[in-house]
Amino acid sequence: MMQIQRGEIAPETLVHIERVAGIGDIYENGRLNVGALATHLDLAHNLVLIDRYRSISHAASLVGGWQTQAVGTIGGNVCNASPAADLLPPLLVHGANVRVISQGRGKREVPLAEFIVGRRNIAREPDELVTGFSLDKAGGGTADVYRKVGRRGAMEVAVVGIAVRLSVDEDGKISDARVAVCSVGPVPFRASAAEQTLVGAIPDRDRVAAAAQMIVEQSEPIDDVRATARYRKMVLPRVFENVLTECHARAAGR
């Protein structure tokens, strides 16, 4: 609606889909399924998300004020494809697939990393509707954390956003690492090189610093009204270290 008001898009027809049955449901069926019309308040207060997908519920609680959270949806946040979208890093670390449907071609699922193809640009065909998202299971020994840095504490677009999901074995070694960031490139992305550096090790200072540097090298921040590219690159390693430390402690049960 904001893009329409600013004249950035000019649709011929608007279709109200709020009454479509089941399109906002959150349920488990092998994977966690989240309907496209689940609001940010739904995500923030859902007990399954709070327990096992905490980064998603926390990120949802940071989007605007409660008025925005009451009407804004996960489908809208994803399809808007903002480089600074809070929900995208947590969804990326949970291996989210986007579910779309069209009358002519039926249903299909697209990995979120392939669905977001550019700033405000998504791989949805004109006749397709996004109906929801499916996420990887989060078992024991797994934790996830999202951290957002902004110029103020509330109702602010992220200067840097980082989500981390770790699975840890009994010895404290990382068996699976997933890291995703936003606001440091044209699209939020998984930091694959950093992830590979962390797997198989207990995260000591040198290894974390090496992983952080890989994230910085993969990022492409810009100067804008909220921060400079230089500031983003300076903040990114420290935020990553804090998020990783917290996530590892949670995954290890400490």
101 and 169 both lie in a single domain: no
Counting residues of the chain whose pLDDT is more than 90, the rounded percentage is 78
Domain of 74, CATH number, reads 3.30.465.10
What does the pLDDT read at residue 254? Answer: 65
Q: Which domain holds residue 30?
A: 2-135
Residue partners of 10: CB distance under 8 A and separation at least 6: 4
Does residue 66 carry a pLDDT above 90? no
17 and 131 both lie in a single domain: yes
Tell the residue number behind the tokens 């923030």, with chain if given. Answer: 44
Of the three residues 118, 135, 152, the one that is the final residue of a domain is 135
91 and 32 both lie in a single domain: yes
93-101 average pLDDT score: 97
44 and 101 both lie in a single domain: yes
Number of domains present in the structure of the chain: 2
What does the pLDDT read at residue 1? Answer: 80
Domain of 226, CATH number, reads 3.30.390.50
Measured between alpha carbons, how far is 237 from 214 in angstroms, rounded to an integer?
Answer: 10
121-138 pLDDT tens trace: 999 998 999 999 999 998
> Helices 205-218 & 229-251, crossing angle to 10 degrees?
140
Does residue 108 carry a pLDDT above 70? yes
pTM attached to this predicted model: 0.94
Helix H, strand E, coil C: the string for 59-80 is HHHCCCCHHHHHHCEHHHHHHH
Tell the residue number behind the tokens 């039926």, with chain if given. Answer: 106
211-223 pLDDT tens trace: 999 999 999 998 8
176-195 pLDDT tens trace: 999 999 999 999 999 999 99
* Long-range CB contacts (within 8 A, 24+) of 149-153: 149/235, 149/239, 150/226, 151/226, 151/227
Measured between alpha carbons, how far is 177 from 173 in angstroms, rounded to an integer?
Answer: 10
What does the pLDDT read at residue 174? Answer: 96
Residue partners of 8: CB distance under 8 A and separation at least 6: none
Q: What is the DSSP string of 155-205?
A: S---SEEEEEEEEE-TTS-EEEEEEEEESSSSS-EE-HHHHHHHTTS---H
Of the three residues 92, 116, 135, the one that is the final residue of a domain is 135
Residue 147 has phi, psi (to 5 degrees) of -130, 135
Tell the residue number behind the tokens 């399809």, with chain if given. Answer: 79
What does the pLDDT read at residue 154? Answer: 60
What does the pLDDT read at residue 65? Answer: 84
Of the three residues 135, 169, 184, the one that is the final residue of a domain is 135
Does residue 163 carry a pLDDT above 70? yes
Tell the residue number behind the tokens 């040198």, with chain if given. Answer: 206
96 and 184 both lie in a single domain: no
26-51 average pLDDT score: 95
141-160 pLDDT tens trace: 999 999 998 776 665 788 99
118 and 146 both lie in a single domain: no
47 and 21 both lie in a single domain: yes
Does residue 37 carry a pLDDT above 80? yes
Instruction: Kindly report the average pLDDT of the chain as a whole number.
Output: 93
43 and 112 both lie in a single domain: yes
